Structure 1
Amino acid sequence: MSERTDQLSRSRDPEVDGGGFDEGILDDSPETPEAEHSTDSTAESRLAEYFAPKLFLVVFAVLTVLGQLGSMFVPLVGGPLGVFVGAFTVGLVSGKRRYGESAVAGGLVGALGVLFGNLTLATVTGSMLTLTGIGAAAGVLLAVLGVYFGRDLRVGLTQDL
């Protein structure tokens, strides 16, 4: 019986029975030898893998709108909650890791929200830099956590049981 199993495993052709998985389809590497030598396109593709400027603008807009809506409807915690919900949505919708875009957008939204929300207080007390730094740190933390939990839910919903 073991001879039959060995024979079947040797005669199995992945192209015929569809059992093979071609990872070249998912690979974003260049196919031509000339493209492999181009350092500019390789560096740009690596950078685009971690941070996409166009997507950053979309994420920034989503986090800004949801942060403002949250602060209008729920005092004190609505803005940070809006940033978290926006980043959660980005993690849920996007198939790739979008931590870089979300972290930078969350930091900007947090810093600008705290700065403009407390402009008089920051100017009078002289603690503008401290308040802005706290807002930026909170925005980065909430955005990264939101993307993480959104991706986690996406994997949980799409994974086979």
Structure 2
Amino acid sequence: MRSLPLNVLVAVVWALLAGEVSARQLLVGFLLGFGVLALFPRALGSGEYLRRSGAWLAFLVFFLRELTLANVQVALLALRPRPPLNAMIVGVPLRVSGDGPMTLLAALITLMPGTVALGFSADRRTLYAHAIGTASAQAARDSVLRVEHHLLRLGAPPSPEVSA
């Protein structure tokens, strides 16, 4: 049995045994199931599931931290009487490929205040983004590349033409 369905099955069985099928009981059951999968990864074949779950959790923590910092930076710019906006359009060479990962990258950087994805080059190897409030064009590129790096760690396929 695959690890995620097994984890969900343990959560449902836990909630049924507890006599209360609620979000709280399902969460407790899911965490218990995850604990069992973590205790016996070789026997249950859950090593890859645990690795991917850890990568998603790390990505969530990273993105929430970046989102918070971007909100604070833009709020501080908005509170200044004459903010130095340093508006620029930058081209960011991409390592990620595929419609889904590229769309996710564009959506994630657009969610962050101060950055808007404008589009991709014709060969789909460069993302163009508008950024404000960054010190330089390289700093704007680096912020997009940090998000791309974490997406690649989640398992997004890298572009075969560009070396990692």
TM-score by structure 2 length? 0.30
TM-score (structure 1 length as normaliser): 0.30
In terms of fraction of residues, the more strand-rich structure is: 2
1 or 2, which has the higher helix percentage?
1
